[in-house]
A and B are shown apart, each in its own frame.
Chain A
Amino acid sequence: MTDVPDRTAPYVADFEAFARNGASGAPDWLKELREGAIGRFAELGFPTMKQEEWRFTSVAPIADQRFILAHAPGSPGPSGTPVGLPAPSDIERLCLGAGPRVVFVDGRHAPTLSTPADLVGGARAGSLAAALRTDAGGELARAHLARHARWRDSAFAALNTAFLADGAFVHVPADVTLERPLEVVFVSTGRARSEGPLVSHPRSLIVVERGARAAVVETYAALSDGVYWTNAVTEVVVGAGAWAELYRVQREGPHSFQVATTHSRQDRDSYLGLHVVTLGAALARHDIDAVLDGAGAELILNGLYLLGGAQHADHHTVIDHAQPHCASHEFFNGVLAERSHGVFTGRIIVRPGAQRTDSKQTNNNLLLSTEARADSQPQLEIYADDVKCTHGSTVGPIDQMQLYYLRSRGLTPEAARSILTYGFGAEILDRMRHPVVRDRLDRLVRERLA
């Protein structure tokens, strides 16, 4: 171990500066949380491919670089200096619907690019930093923040928690219905400092209370093709009988890195549609931890990754059936071109007593080149006896029978291939319930495949 340089030390040093200055105004519970998290990060260190959970993904490109905290204490941020803020039209371009929006630039809230936080029925969509400064927001944050994301098991989630400062805060009170999807946009400028490229740690909390209905679109995007790292965590809490959709669109820059955790917890009889579209970043790792924690809850976990060049994207999903009578349907499709590499791990845990669980998982990968690669691993852990669990995965090139079938109807091989490839995306898009968001994503997928 001694010959391996300690990659965590610079971040621990950064944390000390962060804790002394910019973060010192935080409430005690948050300070304690951060202290504990940086300690855990230092203990865990960056993961290596020797660890089972990381056997297909090397984070060396991240660990070997020195990333500078995007909003180090005292540094001019977008809230301090409006100079350097992206143009509203740049943000407009990235939005998928016409609803209220909360915009972050390099991890910090940009109020001038965002709509007012207060919405109908007492709902709020704004910045977590602002919410922490209010009594009600602080209470809610305290009740949920870091209660759901398993930061003790993940170095990246721990690092995010240590630098927890800002991100989206969405609160939909009980029985409130939001008609239009809320848009949360995290843009990275791709600007670097002389000491190195930037890292941001966006931390979001979405709480949809009992009987409420809402859809949130979370977009990560770049304004340039510079090198940067986004290390995000989002926690989603869905109350009893609530209905929520989260669309997570990752279109980071071509030289960027993204590591993220999305953690959801559902109460009884709730519905959550978690839709993931991964298009960007040179290296991306997305952990999804979904807990069905109330009887009768239903989860649709629906993902699509379209990769090309030398892109690498690893989706690591865990669906935890903690209570009986829950349903989870997981579908991930990958389209892998050139030398790209897609990894999918789908772990399903059925806890003792989670009887009548109905769980289905599929992962289909289309390889468009002989150099593209896909690894797919289902992991079922079933501790209850009265359950229905199925899983299946495929990896392969375009099916010759399908190609011939389409050609026998007059389509050229090129047109047939294009249709079959698009089908992998369309199958996922079809499960999205919001027509406007779905259509915008459909266009994005078609552009990407063209």
Chain B
Amino acid sequence: MTGKGKRERGKVLLEVRDLHASVEGREILRGIDLTVRAGEVHAIMGPNGSGKSTLAQVLAGHPAYTVTAGRVLYEGHDLLGMAPEARAREGVFLAFQYPVAIRGITNAYFLRSAVNAIRKHKGVEELGPVEFMDALEEKLKAIGWDSSYLSRPVNEGFSGGEKKRNEILQLAVLDPKLAILDETDSGLDIDALKTVAQTVDKLRRPDNATVLVTHYDRILTHIEPDVVHVLAGGRIVKSGGKELARELEEKGYDWLREEAVVT
């Protein structure tokens, strides 16, 4: 890798401008500005209730959130005008903070359906069950899973850690351009955290980007972010390099909240 200063900056993948969003009439996001370029990893940190998850869900298209102002461009296109499935097909992926269980549907069937929906969209031939399993083998190994997880219903009866790993498996299999990880690190033991971080790190390429939404800096010791943002009161109140994360861990969020009120 070339040094950071010399590296050519990638093209803009995501551009968020003055984004306001509310849920059940309550405004959560109050003017978010964020630019993510290809090849970058951004960390979005902030206290509980600051709007981190809302931002992640709005970008993925959660129907419960209403965008009241602002715009979001993804590869130059209006992201907010796209249905959730259209965003996924164009390469946006959200690892859910609370992954959803689906009764009766095996993980293998679910993953293959998702992969094939995207392949079909791209005009690539869909994968049969056998080809798909072959393609999956390596990705399973990367997250330290055996194929028994594939025959279990999606997230049903999974522990918290298993659910998070399952999100990372989906990330690895779907290979998105823009991955948003919503507190994927919370609730993981140190080994699971390392596995998740390594998998994410391995997927880093000059043509994709990752937005890590997190409460703690733990995961950032394994995945080095290019930019750290602090979200408070529905706005990004501070952005900086990776050293900002450490500062937050030491000083907490209170000093920023005061700052946000002042500005």
Give me the interface of A with B, judged by CB distance under 8 Å: 364, 399-402, 404-413, 415, 419-420, 422-430
- Contacts A411-B113, A412-B85 given; indicate if A406 touches B104 (C-beta within 8 A): no
Question: Is A408's CB under 8 angstroms from B117's CB?
Answer: no
Asked if A405 meets B96 with Cβ closer than 8 Å, knowing A410-B85, A410-B89, A415-B117, the reply is yes
Question: Which residues of A lie under 8 Å from residue B174 when comparing CB positions?
Answer: 409-410
Say which residue of A399, A401, A410, A426 sits within 8 Å of B105 (CB atoms). Answer: A426
Is the CB–CB distance between A410 and B117 below 8 Å?
yes
27 contacts between A and B (CB under 8 A): A400-B63, A404-B61, A405-B100, A406-B110, A407-B84, A407-B85, A408-B60, A408-B84, A408-B85, A408-B88, A408-B94, A408-B96, A409-B114, A409-B117, A409-B170, A409-B174, A410-B85, A410-B117, A410-B118, A411-B85, A412-B117, A415-B117, A419-B113, A423-B103, A423-B105, A425-B104, A427-B153
Given contact pairs A409-B170, A410-B88, A424 touches B100 in the complex (Cβ within 8 A): no
Closest 6 CB pairs of A and B: A423-B104, A427-B104, A426-B104, A410-B88, A409-B114, A410-B117
CA distance A405 to B103 in the complex (A): 13
Name the residue on B nearest A409 (C-beta).
Answer: B114
Asked if residues B103 and A401 are in contact (CB atoms below 8 Å), the reply is no
A407 touches B104 (CB 8 A): no
Q: Is B238 among interface residues, defined by CB-CB distance under 8 A?
A: no
If over half of A's interface residues share one DSSP class (helix, strand or loop), that class is named, otherwise mixed; here it is helix
Cβ of B62 within 8 Å of any chain A Cβ, yes or no, is yes
CB neighbours of B61 from chain A (8 A): 404, 407-408
Write the nearest CB–CB distance from B225 to chain A, whole angstroms.
24
Query: Which residues in A have their C-beta under 8 angstroms from that of B110?
Result: 406, 409, 419
Q: Chain A: which residue is nearest B118 at the CB level?
A: A410
Bin chain B's interface residue count: 20 to 34
A422: B residues at CB distance < 8 A: 104-105
Residues of B in contact with A (beta carbons under 8 Å apart): 60-63, 83-85, 87-89, 93-94, 96, 99-100, 102-106, 109-110, 113-114, 117-118, 121, 153, 170, 174
Contact, CB under 8 Å: A410 / B102: no
With beta carbons under 8 angstroms apart, the residue of A364, A409, A415 that contacts B103 is: A364
Contact between chains at B83 and A407 (CB < 8 Å): yes
Check A405 against B85 for contact (C-beta < 8 Å). no
Alpha-carbon separation in the docked complex, A407 to B102 (Å): 13
Chain B residue at minimum C-beta to C-beta distance from A426: B104
C-alpha gap A406/B89 in the complex (Å): 12
CB distance from B85 to the nearest CB of A (A): 5
Enumerate chain B residues within 8 angstroms of A428, measured Cβ to Cβ: 104
Q: Which residue of chain B lies nearest to A413 when distances are taken between CB atoms in the complex?
A: B85
Say yes or no: A402 contacts B102, CB within 8 Å: yes
Residue of B nearest to A401 (CB): B100
In the complex, given contacts A404-B62, A410-B89, A410-B117, what are 18 additional A-B residue pairs having Cβ atoms less than 8 angstroms apart? Answer: A364-B103, A402-B102, A404-B84, A405-B102, A406-B102, A407-B84, A407-B88, A408-B88, A408-B94, A410-B88, A411-B117, A412-B117, A419-B109, A420-B105, A425-B104, A428-B104, A429-B104, A430-B104
Chain A residues whose CB sits within 8 angstroms of the CB of B94 once the complex forms: 408
Q: In the assembly, what is the distance between CA of A400 and CA of B121, in Å?
A: 24
User: For A401, what are the chain B residues with a Cβ–Cβ distance below 8 Å?
Assistant: 100
Chain B residues positioned under 8 Å from A425 (CB to CB): 104
Which residues of the other chain, A, contact B96 by a CB distance below 8 angstroms? 405, 408
State in angstroms the CA–CA spacing of A430 and B89 once bound together. 31
Closest Cβ–Cβ distance, residue A365 to chain B (whole Å): 12
**Residue contact A420 to B102, C-beta cutoff 8 Å:** yes
- In the bound complex, residues from chain A placing their C-beta under 8 Å from that of B103 are 364, 423-424, 427
By a CB distance below 8 angstroms, the chain B residues around A420 are: 102, 105
Q: Is the CB of A409 within 8 A of B105?
A: no
**In the assembled complex, which residues on chain B have CB atoms less than 8 Å from the CB atom of A412?**
85, 117
Least CB distance, B183 to chain A, in whole angstroms? 16
Please name all residues of chain B whose beta carbon is closer than 8 Å to the beta carbon of A400 when the two chains form the complex.
63
Residues of chain B lying within 8 A (CB to CB) of residue A408: 60-61, 84-85, 87-88, 93-94, 96
A442 to chain B, nearest CB (A): 11
- Min C-beta distance of A403 to chain B, whole Å: 9
Q: Complex Cα distance A429/B153, Å?
A: 13
Contact B104 A404 (CB under 8 A): no
Closest to B90 in A: A410
State in angstroms the CA–CA spacing of A399 and B103 once bound together. Answer: 11
Kindly state the separation between the CA atoms of A284 and B93 in the bound complex, as whole angstroms: 46
Per the bound structure, the CA–CA distance linking A425 and B61 in Å amounts to: 29
Smallest beta-carbon distance A421→chain B, Å: 9
Closest to A403 in B: B63
Q: Which A-chain residue is minimally distant from B86 (CB atoms)?
A: A410
| Cβ-closest chain B residue relative to A421 | B104
In the complex, A17→B106 CA distance in Å? 56
Q: How far is the CB of A429 from chain B (nearest CB, A)?
A: 8
Q: How far is the CB of B84 from chain A (nearest CB, A)?
A: 4
CB pair A411 B114 closer than 8 Å: yes
From A401, A423, A425, A427, name the one whose CB has the most chain B CB atoms within 10 angstroms.
Answer: A423
- Of B104, B110, B153, most buried by chain A (CB within 10 Å of CB) is B104
Whether A410 contacts B104 by the Cβ 8 Å rule is no
Chain B residue nearest to A366 (CB atoms) is B103
Whole-angstrom distance between the alpha carbons of A425 and B153 in the complex?
A: 13
**In the complex, what distance in Å separates the CA atom of A35 from the CA atom of B139?**
70
**Contact across chains for A409 and B153 when beta carbons are under 8 A apart:** no
Tell me, in angstroms, the Cα distance from A420 to B110 when the chains sit together: 10
CB nearest to B170 among chain A residues: A409
Among B63, B89, B105, B121, contact of A404 (Cβ-Cβ < 8 Å):
B63
- Distance in Å: Cβ of A162 to nearest Cβ of chain B: 42
CB of B127, distance to nearest CB on chain A (Å): 14
Determine how close the nearest CB of chain A comes to the CB of B155; give it in whole angstroms: 9
B63 contact set on A, CB distance < 8 A: 400, 404
Smallest CB gap from B98: residue in A: A401
Chain A residues with Cβ under 8 A from B105's Cβ?
419-420, 422-423, 426
A368 CB to nearest chain B CB (Å) = 15
Query: Which residues in B have their C-beta under 8 angstroms from that of A406?
Result: 102, 110, 114
